[in-house]
Structure 1
C-alpha cells in the first residue's frame, strides 16, 4: 500500500515497504495542460520538458555527484537515469531515476531529487505531475507525492533520501523554486540538508 506524502512529511522506507529496501526508483510523470484551439475548436498541448535530477551530498553537505539528462549514471554506478523525456507524452513515469541503495558509496549522506522545467514554462502549464518512489525489485509503489500544485514556479525540490541510524528514510520536501536545471536550486537545497 502506497503512502500519499504531504509536504514536509518523513517516512521510513523499510517500514512503508514492509521489508528492507535495496533498490528504489524515483518516477516522475506529467502532462502538458491542453489549451483551446482557434475560436475554441480543437485542443493542443504545449511541449513541456520537465527534467528529473538527483544530487548526492556528503557529510559536509557538499555535492559529490549529480545524475541528470547530461549524466545518466553516477560515477560509482549505483544510480541510473532512464533518459530525457521532452514532452511528458504517454502514460506512467516519463522519467525514472533508479537507485541501488546497497551500492551508494558510504560517504553519501543524502540524495536530493529535483524537477525542473528545462523549457522554462511554469507549473501552471503542467498537469497530473507527480513523483513516486517504487520498490524497484517488485515494482510496487511505496510513496507518492503530487506535484500538480499550480503556481508560477518552474522547479521543485521533490524529496530527499537520507541515511539515519543505518536506515534509509525519505523526506518529502515539495518546495517550489525557479530554474532550468538542478544547479539553479543548489542554494535552496542547502536549506534542507
Structure 2
C-alpha cells in the first residue's frame, strides 16, 4: 500500500518498494477548479472551467549542487537517456496522471546525486485555479504506487518544488518538499531549489 507523504517527510524508495528498485515513474495529476456558477460568478471572474496547463519537470544536480540537465516539455529526454517525459498535457482533463516522468535509476550517471521534481503553471494562473493536484512515485517494474503527495494547497503561487529523489549511501530516497514558489518554468525556481540540495 502506498505511503501518503507529509510535507518534509523522507522515505527510502527501495525499502518501500522492495529490493532491486531500478525504475520509477513520477506522476503528476490535477484538475481545473470548478468556477463559481451563476451570473454573479461570471461577473466576478468565477464562471469558467478554463483549462490549466501545469508542467512537471525534473532537474538533475551533481554532488556540488550544479545543474547538469533539465527534463521538461521542451526537452522530453535527458541527455544521457535515463529520464523520459511523457509530454505536455495542457488541460488536466481525464483521470489518472496528466504527466509522467519515467526514471531509469540504474542508468543515471554516478555524477548525478539529486533529481528535483517541480510543477509550474506555464500560462501563469495561480493554484487557486487548481484542485485535486498530486504527485506520486510508481514502481516502474510493476506499476504499483510507492508513495503519494497531495499538492492541493490552493493559493496565490504559480509553482511548487514537489519532491527530491536523491542518492544516500548507495540507496535512492525521496524527500517530499512541497515548497510553493513563482515562475512559469523550473528554471525560475533555481534560487529556491539550491538551498534544498
TM-score strictly above 0.5: yes
Aligned length: 193
Cross-structure match for 2:15 = 15
Q: For residue 30 of structure 1, what is the aligned residue in structure 2? A: 30
What CA deviation, in whole Å up to 9, does each residue of 1:106-135 have, x standing for no partner?
A: 100110000000010111110000000000
TM-score under structure 2 normalisation? 0.95
Cα deviation, residue 151, structure 1:
1.1
Which of structure 1's runs of 4+ aligned residues deviate more than 4 A? 40-43
Is 1:75 aligned to residue 79 of structure 2? yes
Greater mean alpha carbon deviation, residues 34-43 or residues 81-90: 34-43
Asked if the contact 2:35–2:41 (Cα under 8 Å) also holds between the matched residues in 1, the reply is no
Q: CA RMSD in A?
A: 1.4
For residues 154-187 of structure 1, the C-alpha deviation after alignment (integer angstroms, 9 at most, x for no partner) is: 0000000100000000000110000000010000
SS state at 1:102 partner = helix
Structure 2: give runs of 5+ residues left out of the alignment.
none
Q: Distance in 2 between matches of 1:179 and 1:186?
A: 10
Where in structure 1 are there 5+ consecutive unaligned residues? none
94, 112, 129: which one aligns with 2:133: 129
Shift of 1:189: 0.3
Aligned in 2, Cα 1:41/1:111: closer, same or farther, shift over 3 Å? closer
Quick one: distance in 1 between partners of 2:132 and 2:20?
A: 30
Secondary structure of the residue aligned to 1:35 is coil
